Amino acid sequence: MSAYFEIRNLKIDYKTYEKQQRVLDIERIAIEKGKTYGIVGESGSGKTVLALAIMGLLPCPPGIIKSGEIIFDGQDLLKKKNKEMGEKYRGNRIAMIFQDPMSTLNPVFTVGYQMIQIIKQHQKLNKKEAYKKAIEMIEVVKLPDVDDIMKKYPHQLSGGQRQRIIIAMALACGAEFLIADEPTRNLDVTIQASILKLMKELQKKFGVTVLFIANNLSLVSTFCDEIGILHNGKIVEQGRVEEVIKSSKNTYTKILIDSVTKGESVTKKKQEKDEVLLEVKSLKKYFPVKKRKSSKLFVKAVDDVDLKIYKGEVVGIVGESGCGKSTLVNTILNLHEPTSGQVLFDGKNIFELDKNQLRKTRKDIQIVFQDPYWSLNPRWLVKDIISEPIKVHEKLNSISILKRVEDLLELVGLPKSSAFKYPHEFSGGQRQRIAIARALAVNPKLVVLDEPTSSIDVISQAQILELLKELRGRLRLTNILISHDLSVVNYLADKVVIMYLGKIVEYGEAIEVFNNPLHPYTKALFNSIPSLESSGIESLVTLEGNVPSAINPPSGCRFHTRCSMANERCSKEMPAMKVYNDNHSAACFLYEQ
């Protein structure tokens, strides 16, 4: 008996000028009605090809469907003509949620207009009925101020709100089968938890069957009933989530599980702390927004921040988008002029340095950016990319420069011959190694790591984390690590700074903070992250609502509008940072004593 959704012997090739290659070879995937099946795989493993084939959207050429069946409710979708797929299935009974809602929504039309058009087209309703249905679905996905949301353009909504609109659109058209392709990839962990809970709730309410695609094993295992591991186009292992995670038989699955648990382990020893390398004192960075007759409005991105970073330690800065972590680091790097306050680097205030001193300081502070696909010049050879800072800051001849480049390549685990290749000849993980080599080229004292693993595959992520840990031990580097991935911070950082709406709300040794979080915001943040041990999506804590506006932050404790522990005092007074024990401080009235 066939399942509600089933893939049988599906073989897909891609043909290029040079060769024809098998990109997907799936023997069988079966999903029962109302269940969730998760596919985990790295980029290039065939996840998107599979999703496009199901939707009847696979570009042919270069794609060639060699054989197989995709059975949905007793019908083979591969036998349907494009017209029939468009009229009866795609967008009606089968819908897809993409990872970037901004690319799904049209930026020049309001959300309401787009919803009405789609409902009219797929549900054959008139304008009035479609409007009513749109309002109803926006309420179903729990967005506030429905009338207001209908009038907004996509860019006026947050990432989480946009993803809710996409879910509303899919369900409004009567989707029975939903393909969710990394639906929470670009969202903060707290928003991710609330979107996943919403999806689970609506799945039960509407009886939807879900194919969930992601490269995050923890996420898929928390959300799904069954899981399939896709590697080089083949399902190498599949079964119930607990079975695959607890008793995996396939080597690749084991590597995947290891790479996740590596990120989650706390193995750090407390650092010897002596000399302060960087000290931030009462730093404020306000961005002007609008001038009125008598008043000015400001985005208070960083508001009165104090921080000390000692030589040789890794400090992780964590918080949702808009919390001010990037502005704080950019101001420390002197890329933003501060509104007030000081940043002392090696004892000198970097805002008072002359041109020459500033140039020297820039050599001492280097940065590794998030996306190695954008941060390396595609027209330059790797040797030119790595040697650029050497040429700017040091007077060396070309032979010495090449020798330094080769040494750096070896240091980051790449062969010397990589020097004469271009960035496109490398994988994401290898490119990030090149970016790290470039940052280390002039022996900096401080390296800022801006989400160093968020744009690369899980397995490469684990390797880059290993490398960073090894380099930091070997070179006694001081690092500021910005990341929304707490497992990365947990793995690398000695200290953790938790930021909320421009302020530090908790600070301390990573072991302390991760094992015993104090601030209600930190607790919510930690409890919203799926892990291999999570017992289903219901176990995740959701922090409702978005970060309030930094133009007009809430009075008193800035977190009081979202805090489950708030009392009357919290909205009136701002809690000061209090030391809880030697290595751990928090700004919350609950820890005053």
Q: Under DSSP, is residue 9 helix (H, G, I), strand (E, B) or coil?
A: strand
Other residues' Cβ atoms within 10 Å of the Cβ of residue 515 = 9
Q: How far is the CB of 515 from ligand SF4 (least distance, A)?
A: 19
Q: How far is the CB of 324 from ligand SF4 (least distance, A)?
A: 17
For ligand SF4, the closer CB: 263 or 322: 322
Detail the DSSP E strand segments found in 451-494.
478-482
| Integer Rg of the chain from CA | 26
CA separation for the pair 263, 277 (Å, rounded): 27
CA separation for the pair 407, 419 (Å, rounded): 10
For ligand SF4, the closer CB: 440 or 563: 563
Q: How far is the CB of 579 from ligand SF4 (least distance, A)?
A: 16
CA separation for the pair 230, 24 (Å, rounded): 9
Cis peptide bond prior to 61, omega within 30° of 0: yes
Write phi, then psi, for 283 (nearest 5 degrees).
-75, 130
For ligand SF4, the closer CB: 406 or 506: 506
Q: How far is the CB of 565 from ligand SF4 (least distance, A)?
A: 4
Q: How far is the CB of 573 from ligand SF4 (least distance, A)?
A: 8
For ligand SF4, the closer CB: 250 or 527: 527
For ligand SF4, the closer CB: 133 or 519: 519
For ligand SF4, the closer CB: 216 or 522: 522
Please choose, from the candidates 70, 145, 71, 79, the residue with its C-alpha nearest in 3D space to the C-alpha of residue 112. 145
Q: Under DSSP, is residue 87 helix (H, G, I), strand (E, B) or coil?
A: helix
Q: How far is the CB of 555 from ligand SF4 (least distance, A)?
A: 11
Could you tell me which residues are beta bridge partners of residue 310?
276
Question: % helix / strand / coil in the chain, to the nearest 5?
Answer: 40, 25, 35
CA separation for the pair 149, 137 (Å, rounded): 12
For ligand SF4, the closer CB: 426 or 589: 589
CB-count burial class (<10 Å; 0-12, 13-18, 19+) for 447:
buried
CA separation for the pair 444, 480 (Å, rounded): 13
For ligand SF4, the closer CB: 113 or 591: 591
Q: How far is the CB of 317 from ligand SF4 (least distance, A)?
A: 19
CA separation for the pair 324, 579 (Å, rounded): 22
Q: How far is the CB of 540 from ligand SF4 (least distance, A)?
A: 20
For ligand SF4, the closer CB: 297 or 576: 576
Give 410's contacts (C-beta < 8 A, 6+ positions apart).
416
Q: How far is the CB of 155 from ligand SF4 (least distance, A)?
A: 31
DSSP assignment letter at 90: B
For ligand SF4, the closer CB: 223 or 589: 589
Of all helices (H) and strands (E), which one includes residue 27? strand 20-31
CB-count burial class (<10 Å; 0-12, 13-18, 19+) for 64:
middle
For ligand SF4, the closer CB: 10 or 588: 588
Q: How far is the CB of 117 from ligand SF4 (least distance, A)?
A: 42
* Residue 51: half-sphere exposure toward Cβ, Cα within 13 Å: 25
For ligand SF4, the closer CB: 428 or 556: 556
Cβ(498)–Cβ(507) under 8 Å?
Answer: yes
Q: How far is the CB of 323 from ligand SF4 (least distance, A)?
A: 14
Q: How far is the CB of 485 from ligand SF4 (least distance, A)?
A: 23
Q: How far is the CB of 318 from ligand SF4 (least distance, A)?
A: 16
Could you tell me which residues are beta bridge partners of residue 38?
212, 227
- What's the token pair of residue 279? 């000290």
Q: Note the residues at the interface with ligand SF4 (CB under 6 A).
A: 519-520, 557, 559-560, 563, 565-566, 570, 575, 588-590
Q: How far is the CB of 134 from ligand SF4 (least distance, A)?
A: 36
Angle at 468 between CA 466 and CA 472, to 5 degrees: 120
Pairing of strands 63-72, 578-581: unpaired
Q: Which amino acid is at 550?
A: A
Detail the DSSP E strand segments found in 295-439.
296-310, 314-318, 340-345, 348-349, 365-368
Q: How far is the CB of 516 from ligand SF4 (least distance, A)?
A: 16
CA separation for the pair 64, 24 (Å, rounded): 10
- What's the token pair of residue 359? 């140039």
For ligand SF4, the closer CB: 405 or 570: 570
Number of H helices, E strands in the chain: 20, 22
For ligand SF4, the closer CB: 48 or 571: 571
For ligand SF4, the closer CB: 233 or 520: 520
Please choose, from the candidates 444, 453, 423, 8, the residue with its C-alpha nearest in 3D space to the C-alpha of residue 215. 453
